[in-house]
C-alpha cells in the first residue's frame, strides 16, 4: 500500500494535494499489528500533520506527541513544566526574555522523503518559531500563513527577536513581560521542526510539503496515511529518549462512536479514545478491558454570535442560558463523568474563581425575559460538530437536548451538523447563530483558555466563535501577563471571569473527565489531563518488546 492517496482533486483531500513519497527502502515490511504494535481508535479529521497550523483535534490531541518534540514538556501528574528538547532555561528581564539550552545528540527522523545529516541545534528552534512569529520569514505564508493558536495570542506582534547565541543556546526576546510564555511553548502547538528539511524543500521548490510530509524528532514517524481510514506510524529507532517499545501504531479514524466501541470489543481496536459516557457500563463490566478516567483541562460551551441580532442583546443570551436544563445534560450526556461548569476555566485551574455561579434553570423567567425584549417567537440555527471530543462525547445528542429545552420558551432551533474545515469556514463567515463547541489544552496556564477563545485577536485567528470583542477584557488579560507573581495573575483572571459572567458571550456547560478504554494486555498507556502523551512506552503484556 502507498503511504498517501493520489489522483483526487485538491478540494477533496483533507490535506490538499499530498505528494506520494517513495516507499521507505529502509523500512522492511511490517509484521502483523498484533505482534508488533497496537491499534488506537479515535474520531477525527486530518487537515495537517503540523500542529503549528492546527486548531485542535486529531493533529494536536494524538499525533503531535508521536511525531514531534517540544522545548518543554508538562508532567501529567504534577502539572509542572519539565525539560524537553531544552534541558534548562532562564527567565530574564522579569519575563520579557527567555534563554534555552538545548540537549546534545538529538537526531531527527529518517523518513522516505528526508535523511538528516546533522542532529538538532538552535537553527531548528529559530526556524520553527520564526516561521510562526515573523511575518517576513520565507516559510511564514506557506500553506496559508495561519497559526491559529499563536495568532489568537497575538505572538506575531509580541516577539521582538529570536536569536541563536550558539549551537545549543537560543534566546527569545518579547516586547513586554509575559508570564505565560513558557506554558505556551510547552503545548503541542509548539513543535520543533527540522530547518535542514525546510532548506531541502526550499531548494526543491516544494515548501508546502513541510506540513504534509512531517519530519520531527519524536518517537514515531509517518509511514502511511489513508484518507478517512487510518494513519500508520512506525518506530523511530534512534529516538533520543530510547527506542519505543512497539514497532508500529495504527491510528484508526474510520469508524464512528458505536463502530469504534464494536471494534474495541471484537479486538480490532486496542485503545478507544474518548468513549461515550453511555458506554461506560459496557466497558466497565467487560473483564477484557480497562477504563481510565482523569480530570481534564477542557470545557464544553455554547457560543453566541454576539454580532448578530438578536443575540447581540444580552437579555436574549441570558434568557437562553436560563432555559437550558444543565442537570439533564449532565445525566444524559456525561453520566457522572463531568461537572457543570460555572466558568470558561475548568475547576482544576489555579485561577478558577470559586465565587463563580452556575447558570440556573428557570424556563418561566427565560420566557418572561424574551417577552420583555419584544420576542415571542425566535428561529435560530445551532451549528454542531459531528465527532466526539474530549469535552463532549455526544455533541449531536447534546444539541437535541438543548433544542428541546429552548422549544419550551418559543425558541425554535435548527440543528446544523458540521465537520472539519467546513465548520470553521462557515462559523467565521458569521452567518451562524449558535455553535456548540469546546476547548481542551495541554497547558495549565489560564491564558491558554481566555485569549484563544475570547480575545479580540482570536476572531481573526478563527478560534473566537462568539465574535465577541471587549477591549476591557483584553486589557485585563494583558495585565495578567505582566507579573510573575501568582497572586497578581489570580486577581486579574478572577476579574476576567466576572466580565464574562456579566456579558455572557459564551455559556459554559461542562468540564469533562478525560477517558480512555483499552484492552487488558496493553500496558504503559499514560492518560494526561493536557492531551495524549507519547506512545513510546506502550507495550503488550504478552510480548513486551518487539524485536527490531
Residue 161's pLDDT is what? 94
Q: What is the CATH number of the domain that holds 190?
A: 3.90.76.10
Task: Check whether residue 153 and residue 188 sit in a common domain.
Answer: yes
Residues 424-445: b if buried by 16+ CB within 10 A, e if exposed: beebbeeebbbbbbbbbbbbbb
Residues 238, 326: one domain? no
> CB of 359 within 8 A of CB of 322?
yes
**Cβ atoms of residues 332 and 401 within 8 Å:** yes
pLDDT computed for residue 157 by the predictor: 82
Residue 500 has a pLDDT of 97
- Is the domain of 37 the same as that of 103? no
pTM of the entire predicted model: 0.80
331, 258: one domain: no
- 225-274 confidence digits (pLDDT tens): 999 899 999 999 999 999 999 999 999 998 766 788 889 999 999 999 88
Cell numbers given for 1: 500500500
- Residue 60: pLDDT band (50, 70, 90) is confident
- Looking at the fold, whether 359 and 408 belong to one and the same domain comes out as yes
Same domain? For 265 and 309 the reply is no
Tell me whether strands 289-295 and 506-519 are parallel, antiparallel or unpaired: antiparallel
Instruction: Please give the residue range of the domain that contains residue 477.
Output: 298-513
Q: How far apart are CA 254 and CA 42, in angstroms?
A: 8
268 and 345: one domain? no
E strands present in 93-185: 97-102, 159-166, 169-174
- Is residue 28 over pLDDT 70? no
pLDDT in tens, 161-172: 999 999 999 999
Give the range among 10-19, 77-86, 351-360, 380-389 with minimum mean pLDDT.
10-19
Nearest CA to 84 out of 70, 66, 104, 98 is that of 70
Dihedral angle, C-alpha 226, 515, 350, 159, nearest 10 °: 0
Q: Is residue 358 one of the residues assigned to a domain?
A: yes
Eight-class DSSP state of 327? H
**What does the pLDDT look like over 342-359, one tens digit per residue?**
999 998 888 999 999 988
- Please check whether residue 10 lies inside any domain of the structure: no
Q: Determine the average pLDDT of the residues in 469-497.
A: 94
Whichever domain contains 491, its CATH number is 3.10.105.10
H or E stretch covering 33: helix 33-36
Q: Note whether residue 139 is domain-resident.
A: yes
6 class by beta-carbon count within 10 Å (0-12 exposed, 13-18 middle, 19+ buried): exposed
- pLDDT confidence of 319, banded at 50, 70, 90? very high
Whether 283 and 414 share a structural domain: no
Nine cell digits for residue 48 = 495537517
Share of the chain above pLDDT 90, in %: 64
Instruction: Read off the DSSP letter of residue 352.
Output: -
145 in any annotated domain: yes
Q: Virtual CA dihedral for 470, 476, 477, 482, nearest 10 degrees?
A: 150
**Residue 58 forms part of a structural domain:** yes
Q: What percent of the chain has pLDDT over 70?
A: 90
CB 152 within 8 A of CB 457: yes
280 and 355 in a common domain: no
Question: Which stretch of 19-23, 59-63, 253-257, 495-499 has the lowest confidence by average pLDDT?
Answer: 19-23
Alpha helices in 222-362 (DSSP H): 257-266, 280-285, 314-323, 326-329
How far, CA to CA in Å, does 440 sit from each of 288, 298, 461, 510, 530?
30, 4, 17, 12, 7
Instruction: Kindly state whether residue 308 falls inside one of the protein's structural domains.
Output: yes
> Taking residues 70-95, what's their average pLDDT?
91
Residue of 106, 80, 109, 86 lying closest to 98 (CA atoms): 86
Same domain, 89 and 236: no
Please check whether residues 466 and 412 belong to one and the same domain: yes
Q: Is residue 434 part of a domain?
A: yes
> How many domains does one find in the chain?
3
**Residue 9 has which C-alpha cell?**
482533486
Distances (CA, A) of 385 to 56, 109, 382: 13, 35, 10
When pLDDT is cut at 50, 70 and 90, the band that residue 6 belongs to is very low
- Are residues 238 and 305 located together in one domain of the fold? no
Whether 209 maps to a domain, the answer reads no
The domain that holds 47 is classified in CATH as 3.40.190.10
Amino acid at each position: 500500500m502507498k503511504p498517501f492517496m493520489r489522483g483526487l482533486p485538491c478540494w477533496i483531500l483533507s490535506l490538499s494535494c499530498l505528494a506520494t513519497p517513495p516507499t521507505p527502502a529502509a523500512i522492511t515490511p511490517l509484521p502483523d499489528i498484533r505482534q508488533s504494535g497496537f491499534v488506537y481508535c479515535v474520531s477525527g479529521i486530518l487537515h495537517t500533520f503540523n500542529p503549528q497550523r492546527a486548531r485542535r483535534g486529531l493533529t494536536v490531541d494524538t499525533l503531535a506527541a508521536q511525531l514531534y518534540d517540544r522545548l518543554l514538556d508538562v508532567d501529567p501528574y504534577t502539572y509542572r513544566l519539565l525539560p524537553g528538547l531544552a534541558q534548562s532555561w532562564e527567565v530574564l528581564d522579569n519575563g520579557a526574555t527567555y534563554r534555552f539550552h538545548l540537549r546534545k545528540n538529538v537526531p531527527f527522523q529518517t523518513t522516505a522523503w528526508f535523511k538528516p545529516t546533522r542532529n538538532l541545534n538552535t537553527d531548528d528552534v529559530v526556524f520553527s518559531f520564526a516561521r510562526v512569529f515573523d511575518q517576513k520569514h520565507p516559510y511564514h505564508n506557506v500553506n496559508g500563513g495561519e497559526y491559529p493558536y499563536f495568532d489568537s495570542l497575538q505572538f506575531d506582534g509580541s516577539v521582538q527577536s529570536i536569536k541563536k547565541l550558539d549551537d545549543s543556546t537560543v534566546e527569545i526576546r518579547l516586547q513586554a513581560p509575559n508570564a505565560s510564555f513558557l506554558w505556551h511553548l510547552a503545548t503541542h502547538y509548539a513543535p520543533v521542526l527540522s530547518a535542514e528539511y525546510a532548506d531541502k524543500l526550499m531548494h526543491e521548490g516544494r515548501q508546502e510539503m513541510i506540513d504534509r510530509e512531517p519530519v520531527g524528532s519524536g518517537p514515531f514517524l509517518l509511514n502511511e496515511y489513508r484518507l478517512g481510514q487510518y494513519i500508520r506510524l512506525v518506530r523511530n529507532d534512534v529516538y533520543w529518549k530510547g527506542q519505543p517499545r512497539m514497532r508500529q501504531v495504527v491510528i484508526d479514524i474510520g469508524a464512528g462512536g458505536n463502530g469504534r466501541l464494536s471494534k474495541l470489543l471484537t479486538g480490532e481496536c486496542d485503545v478507544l479514545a474518548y468513549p461515550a459516557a453511555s458506554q461506560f457500563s459496557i466497558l466497565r463490566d467487560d473483564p477484557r478491558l480497562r477504563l481510565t478516567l482523569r480530570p481534564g483541562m477542557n470545557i464544553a460551551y455554547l457560543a453566541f454570535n454576539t454580532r448578530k441580532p438578536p443575540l447581540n442583546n444580552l437579555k436574549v443570551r441570558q434568557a437562553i442560558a436560563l432555559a437550558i436544563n444543565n442537570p439533564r445534560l449532565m445525566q444524559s450526556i456525561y453520566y457522572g463523568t463531568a461537572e457543570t461548569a460555572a466558568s470558561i476555566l475548568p475547576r482544576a485551574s489555579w485561577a478558577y474563581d470559586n465565587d463563580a455561579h452556575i447558570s440556573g434553570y428557570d424556563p418561566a423567567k427565560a420566557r418572561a425575559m424574551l417577552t420583555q425584549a419584544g420576542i415571542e417567537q425566535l428561529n435560530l440555527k445551532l451549528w454542531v460538530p459531528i465527532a466526539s471530543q474530549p469535552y463532549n462525547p455526544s455533541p449531536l445528542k447534546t444539541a437535541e437536548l438543548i433544542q428541546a429545552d429552548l422549544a419550551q420558551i418559543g425558541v425554535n432551533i435548527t440543528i446544523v451538523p458540521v465537520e472539519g474545515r467546513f465548520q470553521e469556514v462557515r462559523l467565521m463567515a458569521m452567518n451562524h447563530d449558535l455553535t456548540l463547541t469546546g476547548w481542551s489544552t495541554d497547558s495549565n496556564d489560564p491564558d491558554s483558555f481566555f485569549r484563544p477563545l475570547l480575545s479580540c485577536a482570536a476572531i481573526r485567528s478563527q478560534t473566537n466563535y462568539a465574535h465577541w470583542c471587549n477591549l476591557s477584557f483584553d486589557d485585563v488579560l494583558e495585565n495578567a501577563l505582566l507579573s510573575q507573581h501568582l497572586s497578581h495573575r489570580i486577581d486579574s483572571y478572577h476579574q476576567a471571569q466576572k466580565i464574562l459572567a456579566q456579558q455572557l458571550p459564551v455559556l459554559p456547560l461542562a468540564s469533562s473527565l478525560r477517558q480512555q478504554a483499552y484492552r487488558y494486555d496493553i500496558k504503559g498507556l499514560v492518560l494526561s489531563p493536557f492531551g495524549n502523551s507519547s506512545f513510546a512506552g506502550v507495550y503488550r503484556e504478552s510480548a513486551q518488546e518487539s524485536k527490531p
